[in-house]
Amino acid sequence: MFAAADRRADNDSDNDASHASTLILLRHGESLWNRENRFTGWTDIPLTEQGLTEADAAGKKLMASRLQPDCIHTSVLSRSVQTAWHIQEQTDRVWLPLEKSWRLNERHYGALQGMNKDTASALFGRDNVCLWRRSFSGLPPSDENAPAVLQRDPRYRHLRLNELPMTESLCGALMRLMPYWIGRIQPQLDEGKTVLVVSHANLLRSLIVLLENLPETATERLHVPTAVPLVYRLDAGINIISKITLN
């Protein structure tokens, strides 16, 4: 589907267990707008007290499973960063620098951002909203002012206007991620490291489709709960050896 898939190798040396790495995918804990059933996207919304508790619990699960990360990646959104901080505390990795990238942000929900999901269904039709939320290529209505507004934020000031979204599908979010995946995360996996990626539900749904070589229609059924670690053991070709969920 994308360039990273080319790394899946066929020869036996790539499947040597001695080159295995660990990838941990984690959605942030519950945010205030999760609780209020609102579309969040790139809006910077903090965790609730429940979300902080979930983040601590996720860190304790990783520690109990002896999964202390060598590298931690997050988006530049507070709910992801806050979750990563709590993971660091619970896994004795406070000293480890966080690697933050806008490319790990949630998919941009365009004109839906901030809107209650039930209100959006009433306004645009339940079938349309379901398509935008669950399908791989569904594109929510655009917010044409979003790039200019985002560029005033110091987190995105270095980006060109045409790099900043008005809206995104899951496919678009995955394409936005790929340069960071190939340039930063994949090399760490190549070194056999344990890599933790703390991100967002839709970004992770799209990444799971790529990692597991699933059909695009699989996104309609994929659900990524808050703060539940998904652990992949990968060979040197980024093929999955094993997959466990730390419920």
Write the pLDDT tens digit of every residue in 36-74: 999 999 999 999 999 999 999 999 999 999 999 999 999
Per-residue model confidence (pLDDT) at position 18 = 60
CA contacts within 13 A on the Cβ side of 233: 11
Task: Look up 28 and say whether it is catalytic.
Answer: yes
Calpha distance 37→31 (Å, rounded):
10
Beta bridge partners of 73: 99, 197
Mean residue pLDDT across the chain: 94
- Active-site entry in 28, 73, 86, 108: 28
| 29, burial (CB in 10 Å: exposed 0-12, middle 13-18, buried 19+) | buried
**Amino acid making up residue 193:** K
Q: How do residues 193-227 score in pLDDT, each as one tens digit?
A: 999 999 999 999 999 999 999 999 999 999 999 99
pLDDT higher than 60, residue 5? no
Calpha distance 206→149 (Å, rounded):
26
Task: Look up 99 and say whether it is catalytic.
Answer: no
CA dihedral 53→107→179→6, nearest 10 degrees, is 90
- For 158-178, what is the mean pLDDT? 98
CB 247 within 8 A of CB 229: no
Three-state secondary structure call for residue 180: helix
- Active-site entry in 30, 54, 106, 168: 106
pLDDT higher than 60, residue 101? yes
pLDDT higher than 70, residue 8? no
pLDDT higher than 50, residue 29? yes
pLDDT higher than 90, residue 245? yes
Per-residue model confidence (pLDDT) at position 10 = 43
Per-residue model confidence (pLDDT) at position 19 = 77
Per-residue model confidence (pLDDT) at position 64 = 98
- For 104-111, what is the mean pLDDT? 98
Q: 113 pLDDT band (50/70/90 cuts)?
A: very high
Domain ranges of the chain: 3-245
CATH 3.40.50.1240, domain 3-245, yes or no: yes
Calpha distance 98→45 (Å, rounded):
19
Higher confidence at residue 9 or residue 163? 163
